[in-house]
Amino acid sequence: MAKKNSSGKPNSGAYSEPADTTRFVPLGADHCYLRDPNNGKTYHLKINSELFFEKIESITTNFPKDKLLKEIKDLAKTYPNDSWGKAYAKLNS
């Protein structure tokens, strides 16, 4: 018998999350957690590092880049002295 989710429907086995889930969790001035909507994994990254931009590039192959850019832009407004503004500028160029 297949496992069922909270709505009583069988699980498909694929990872899914709500569309309004936040992808970034800021940690201090220059680090963050980045939640990958494609597989549910969370990465601890230095903002503006090569790996940070590689993960974003990887995520946006199956996820709208504009949603990630909006989150980064909002973080740049919330944390103006942190690295978010530079990351947004680099991604938006």
| pTM metric for this prediction | 0.76
The span from the CA of 24 to the CA of 49, in Å, is: 15
Give dist(CA 60, CA 36) in Å, integer.
Answer: 10
pLDDT of residue 46: 97
Q: H helices of the chain, where?
A: 50-59, 65-78, 84-91
Q: Lowest mean pLDDT: which of 12-21, 37-46, 51-60, 62-71?
A: 12-21
Q: Note the pLDDT of residue 39.
A: 87
Say yes or no to pLDDT of 32 above 90: yes
pLDDT (average), residues 13-21: 56
> Mind listing the pLDDT tens digit for each residue in 46-69?
999 999 999 999 999 888 899 999
Residue 37 and residue 23 in contact, taking contact as beta carbons nearer than 8 Å = yes
Please give the pLDDT value at position 9: 58
What is the spatial distance between Cα 7 and Cα 80, in angstroms, rounded to a whole number? Answer: 41
